């Protein structure tokens, strides 16, 4: 019908639509093959691949309307006798669109390689930190070759499309009345709006295989969707329960909550009491970039990548079943500093109004310590400087190092050994001033492009993640050995914990193995060696450290002391982009937008029975996330609540 009404005009648009769909289908197939080569052969299973291709076709056609609209309006408005100029105009407009299409295709492969996902709000964030991101790409990949490949492929596709359009130029002006063309212009303008209204991110959730679901998506649509839903109101989009019921349920999970002077019930607001005087030890917490438990020999690795950390694990207290709350550094920092569940959307580290909060640094500050945050990169990245300085920490980043003090640097920061040299200098100064310290040190080296000073380990720089892991192990071991000679060493508690794992790829929405991280607490004079097998989460780290020191304090942490409360209540909270989860007793509760809830077996990812246990765990999960989201929104995590009168603990 379109051909009869509009002749060659309509056929020109059909050619462009087919070219766009074919290219994006090839990208989808390429990502599936990439997954299979990486060990996820199930992605090529026809029962998963064919539905992914079919659903992907729907997204591709919807996105194509945005590309076709400007060209289509130009084609339909074309008058007889101007064919040569129209052809030139269309081909000129088509070239940058083809370059964009190819560039996005290449970008999807690099993003998938890092996060095993279509574009999400991480990609949106990357637009903000272009210096680090472009620098990372430049240092990780051969950028001239990459851009050259984009240019060559774009020109090849543009030339092929130009050839395919050739037969239709001559017939284009011959058919189609003015009214028909005007109607077609109206349809072309309306189609993008209809695509926005008709497409839904839930369409791609057709299976229990998270990777197959991601394949069904479309990079353009997923980027737009992530941009639009970057901040997510839990109460509007997730399953809730009556507020009083949620508070009562959380009170069962966090016993000992107080009633504030204003009458508000806050189960997370409680008095933590330890008998006797607290141990006035310094604390050095090292959060290690992208450090999965599976890298350590203590968890079965046979590559001998972490000899120093394995030795520290034998001499210290090793926590064997600790889980990260998320897949990004800011999620780890949020959990370690604030001890709150990973509520949907951005980490609190990057949200507005995130100053003057109740943090572990505040607990130490109230005890006379100086809280410090030390980072090997520029602290403006991911809003670290603003967050930590706004919450009472002394922030020290790479700008505190003179050029002569830097042995090596890449786009993410200085080599870990230089960060630790800076840390030693700062800690020496605090000790000399007679002030105890709580120092949170964030490493950077175990991150693509995995570059570091030569000669430190037996794996050459920039040869892969194994080198990044082994160099980080070297740098931490070297730091501890250098600290051993300091007068403050004997009275210092070292906490070594990952910010998140290196893995995002998995069949499940929240594959529990991809969140498994190590934690070592090392203080030879104060903490005997041992292994703690309790299931716990990053939000439990700070309460556990404070418990080891025997500190009594007014708490608004959602986490628990793993060595005390954790033994009787083993659970972990975790999140991946918009899905937040709750792991307990072999099952994971997945809470998703639009009020969707799914309970799955943690080991298989298959739906769990809809029994009393699933209902109980679902209520616990909702209580944690609903109350935590409301608490941040209402300002209940602000320090000002510390000074309200409270009733005695029951």
Task: Please tell me the predicted confidence (pLDDT) of residue 230.
Answer: 61
Report if residue 424 sits inside a domain.
no
Report if residue 646 sits inside a domain.
no
More confident site: 347 or 170: 347
Report if residue 327 sits inside a domain.
yes
Average pLDDT over residues 383-387: 92
For residues 40 and 161, membership in a common domain is answered with yes
pLDDT (tens digit, 9 = 90+) per residue, 278-312? Answer: 999 999 999 999 999 999 999 999 999 999 999 99
More confident site: 581 or 409: 581
Task: Please tell me the predicted confidence (pLDDT) of residue 170.
Answer: 64
Burial label for 126, CB within 10 Å (0-12, 13-18, 19+), is: middle
Residue 647: which pLDDT band, with cuts at 50, 70 and 90? very low
pLDDT (tens digit, 9 = 90+) per residue, 7-46? Answer: 556 788 889 999 999 999 999 999 999 888 877 777 888 8
Residue 421: which pLDDT band, with cuts at 50, 70 and 90? very high
Task: Please tell me the predicted confidence (pLDDT) of residue 649.
Answer: 32
416-432 and 465-484 are packed helices; what angle lies between their axes, rounded to 10 degrees?
A: 20
Task: Please tell me the predicted confidence (pLDDT) of residue 600.
Answer: 96
**Structural domain boundaries, residue 600:** 234-256+571-638
Look over the chain and give the mean of its residue pLDDT values, rounded to a whole number.
Answer: 88
Report if residue 214 sits inside a domain.
yes
Domain count within the chain: 3
Q: Is the pTM of this model over 0.95?
A: no
For residues 195 and 241, membership in a common domain is answered with no
Report if residue 404 sits inside a domain.
yes
Average pLDDT over residues 352-372: 95
Taking each continuous run of H as one helix and of E as one strand, the counts in the chain are 20, 18
CATH code where residue 240 lies: 3.30.1120.80
612-634 and 243-253 are packed helices; what angle lies between their axes, rounded to 10 degrees?
A: 110
CB 239 within 8 A of CB 591: yes
For residues 205 and 60, membership in a common domain is answered with yes
For residues 219 and 240, membership in a common domain is answered with no
HEC assignment per residue over 334-363? HHHHHCCCCCCCCCHHHCCCCCCECCHHHH
pLDDT (tens digit, 9 = 90+) per residue, 531-543? Answer: 999 999 999 999 9
For residues 140 and 207, membership in a common domain is answered with yes
Report if residue 551 sits inside a domain.
yes
Buried/exposed code over 603-630 (b: 16+ C-beta within 10 A; e: otherwise): eebeebeeeeebeebbbbbbbbbbbbbb
For residues 391 and 247, membership in a common domain is answered with no
**Helix ranges restricted to H, 354-464:** 360-366, 384-389, 416-432
pLDDT (tens digit, 9 = 90+) per residue, 101-110? Answer: 999 999 899 8
For residues 107 and 223, membership in a common domain is answered with yes
Report if residue 261 sits inside a domain.
no
Give CA–CA dist 105/298, Å, rounded: 40
Res 85 pLDDT > 80: no
For residues 213 and 240, membership in a common domain is answered with no
More confident site: 163 or 180: 163
Res 644 pLDDT > 50: no
Q: Which of 557, 591, 618 delimits the end of a domain?
A: 557
Distances (CA, A) of 94 to 71, 100, 148: 8, 10, 19
Report if residue 533 sits inside a domain.
no
Give CA–CA dist 389/615, Å, rounded: 42
Q: Which of 181-195, 365-379, 449-463, 478-492 has the lowest mean pLDDT?
A: 181-195
pLDDT (tens digit, 9 = 90+) per residue, 191-243? Answer: 899 998 899 888 888 887 878 888 999 999 988 887 776 667 788 789 999 99
Task: Please tell me the predicted confidence (pLDDT) of residue 262.
Answer: 45
More confident site: 566 or 637: 637
């Amino acid at each position: 019908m379109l051909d009869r009404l509009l002749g060659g005009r309509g056929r020109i648009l059909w050619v462009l639509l087919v070219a766009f769909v074919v290219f994006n289908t090839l990208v989808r197939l390429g990502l599936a093959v990439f997954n299979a080569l990486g060990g996820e052969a199930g992605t090529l299973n026809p029962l998963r691949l064919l539905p992914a291709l079919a659903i992907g076709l729907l997204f591709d056609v919807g996105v194509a309307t945005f590309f076709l609209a400007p060209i289509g309006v130009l084609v339909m408005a074309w008058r007889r006798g101007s064919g040569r100029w129209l052809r030139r105009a269309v081909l000129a407009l088509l070239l940058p669109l083809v370059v964009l299409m190819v560039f996005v295709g290449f970008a999807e492969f690099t993003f998938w390689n890092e996060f095993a996902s279509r574009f999400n709000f991480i990609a949106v964030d990357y637009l903000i930190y272009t210096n680090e991101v472009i620098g990372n790409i430049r240092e990780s990949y051969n950028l001239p070759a990459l851009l050259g490949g984009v240019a060559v492929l774009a020109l090849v596709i543009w030339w092929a499309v130009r050839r395919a359009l050739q037969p239709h130029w001559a017939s284009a002006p011959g058919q189609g009345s003015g009214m028909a063309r005007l109607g077609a212009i109206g349809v072309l303008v309306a189609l993008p709006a209809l695509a926005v209204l008709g497409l839904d991110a839930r369409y791609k959730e057709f299976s229990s295989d998270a990777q197959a679901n991601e394949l069904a998506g479309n990079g353009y649509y997923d980027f737009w969707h992530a941009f639009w839903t970057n901040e997510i109101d839990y109460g509007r989009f997730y399953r809730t329960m009556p507020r009083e019921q949620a508070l009562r349920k959380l009170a069962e999970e966090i016993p000992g909550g107080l009633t504030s002077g204003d009458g508000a019930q806050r189960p997370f607001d409680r008095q933590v009491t330890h008998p006797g005087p607290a141990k006035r030890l310094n604390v050095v917490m090292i959060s290690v970039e992208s450090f999965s438990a599976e890298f350590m020999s203590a968890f079965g690795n046979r590559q001998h990548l972490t000899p120093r950390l394995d030795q520290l694990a034998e001499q210290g207290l090793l926590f064997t079943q600790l889980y990260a709350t998320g897949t990004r550094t800011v999620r780890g920092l949020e959990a370690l500093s604030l001890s709150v569940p990973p509520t949907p959307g951005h980490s609190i580290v990057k949200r507005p109004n995130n100053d003057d909060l109740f943090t572990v640094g505040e607990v130490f500050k109230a005890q006379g310590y100086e809280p410090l945050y030390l980072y090997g990169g520029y602290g403006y990245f991911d809003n670290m400087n603003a967050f930590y300085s706004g919450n009472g920490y002394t922030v020290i980043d790479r700008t505190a190092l003179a050029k002569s003090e830097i042995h090596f640097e890449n786009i993410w920061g200085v080599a870990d050994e230089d960060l630790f040299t800076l840390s030693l200098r700062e800690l020496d100064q605090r000790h000399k001033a007679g002030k105890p310290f709580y120092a949170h040190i964030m490493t950077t080296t175990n991150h693509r492009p995995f570059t570091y000073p030569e000669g430190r380990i037996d794996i050459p720089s920039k040869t892969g993640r194994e080198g990044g892991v082994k160099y980080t192990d070297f740098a931490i071991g070297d730091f501890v050995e250098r600290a051993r000679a300091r007068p403050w060493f004997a009275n210092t508690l070292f906490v070594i914990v990952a910010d998140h794992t290196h893995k995002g790829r998995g069949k499940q929405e929240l594959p529990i193995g991809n969140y498994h991280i190590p934690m070592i607490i090392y203080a030879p004079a104060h903490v005997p060696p041992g292994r703690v097998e309790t299931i716990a989460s990053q939000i439990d780290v700070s309460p556990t450290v404070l418990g080891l020191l025997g500190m009594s304090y007014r708490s608004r942490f959602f986490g628990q002391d793993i060595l005390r409360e954790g033994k009787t209540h083993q659970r972990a909270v975790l999140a991946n982009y918009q899905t937040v989860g709750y792991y307990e007793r072999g099952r994971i509760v997945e809470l998703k937008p639009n009020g969707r809830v799914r309970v799955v077996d943690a080991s298989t990812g298959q739906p769990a029975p809809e029994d009393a246990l699933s209902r109980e765990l679902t209520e616990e999960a909702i209580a944690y996330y609903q109350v935590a989201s409301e608490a941040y929104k209402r300002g209940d995590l602000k320090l000002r609540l510390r000074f309200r009168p409270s009733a005695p603990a029951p």
